[in-house]
Chain A
Amino acid sequence: MSAARLNFMPLLAFLIIALMLVSINFAGKPKRGGGWQEISREVSDFSLPLLIGKGEFKSLELKGRVTILSIFASWCLPCAAEHEFLMKIASDKRLEGKAIQLIGINWRDKENDALAYLEKRGNPYSKTAIDKKGGIAVMLGIAGVPETFLIDKNGRAVAKFSGNINSQIAEEFITRALKLDANQ
């Protein structure tokens, strides 16, 4: 074997190891990170206590209405960053009179902190449920907070946005919700 070919060996070994590491990193990973993800997931039956008022939020309430479901926590900084855009969705005139609701799920939080969080920033949700153990959000397949789901009138989650929403994403949620409402 010539000296030139032997010198090439470390580079080849490096490339092979690099390829292996890249493969390990991407093997079997679902699409993750910030952004939209199209999904098709039947939301299982569940009921959660309400944060404000008495009673429960039941998954049955997802039927017959398009739902924008926001999962948030008071300790989550990106949640605070997206809050103003949730408020904009809640007050958007185009949604008035439509079968579209904005529901909040407070995830793994302290009730008093969650209440103070909404009192300080305003409450965009028509109902807010408490997922103290975090299992309902796992059923939905969250990878962290905040995550916002779009659920059709049959109670099927059709899309989710991971990360904090901004003005453009809020507009996309409104457009998609209106489209779902019109088509179902």
Chain B
Amino acid sequence: MKWLFFLAFVVLIGNAFSFAPEKKLDNPVDEKRAQKIFQSLRCTVCEGQSLAESDASLAYGIRGAIRDKVREGVSDKQIMAYLTERYGIEILQNPPLQKSTLVLWLMPIVLLLLGLGFALKAQKTS
């Protein structure tokens, strides 16, 4: 049984090193900027995770592409434009207010107002 656990451990460790390790930028200022960009983006293939924390293969690829752009001196705005062109505004943690996201932004307010209205009416009737 011990051998079985050892074998499983070896296989799992082997898998952990299957891919190229994520190389951080040499310049700590650049790496910090890259990390900030990761935090402002979502993982598009794993619901509810930021790009910074995702282990998905695509997330590794996108982080690598962002680091390359940061190293080349591309601005944050240009990097965001580059990514939204390819992955849509879905990749942004805070999508801008526009036609396609109008319902998303307004619905909580409408819901709150409706709730307040209902509560007031219910209070009056009681």
Binding site for B on A (CB under 8 A): 1, 6, 9, 13, 16-17, 19-20, 23-24, 27-30, 41, 73, 75, 107-110, 132-135, 137-145
Give chain B's interface residue range (CB within 8 Å of chain A).
35 or more
B107 — which chain A residues lie within 8 A by C-beta?
16, 19-20, 23
Q: Is the interface of B mostly helix, strand, loop or mixed?
A: helix
Is A1 a contact of B121 with CB atoms below 8 Å?
Answer: yes
- Does B20 lie at the interface of the complex (its beta carbon under 8 Å from any beta carbon of A)? yes
Chain B: residues with CB nearer than 8 A to chain A?
18-20, 44-45, 57-58, 60-62, 64-65, 68, 85-90, 92, 95, 98, 100-101, 103-104, 107-108, 110-111, 114-115, 118, 121-122, 125
In Å, the complex CA distance between A109 and B107 comes to 43
Residues of B within 8 A of A132 (CB): 20
Question: A134–B60 contact, CB under 8 A?
Answer: yes
The answer to whether B18 touches A133, judged by C-beta atoms less than 8 angstroms apart, is no
Given contacts A6-B122, A28-B101, A107-B61, 7 further A-B contacts (CB under 8 A): A13-B115, A27-B100, A108-B19, A134-B57, A134-B58, A138-B86, A139-B86
Instruction: List the B residue with the shortest CB-CB distance to A132.
Output: B20
A155 to B64, CA, bound (A): 23
A13–B104 Cα distance when bound, in Å, is 16
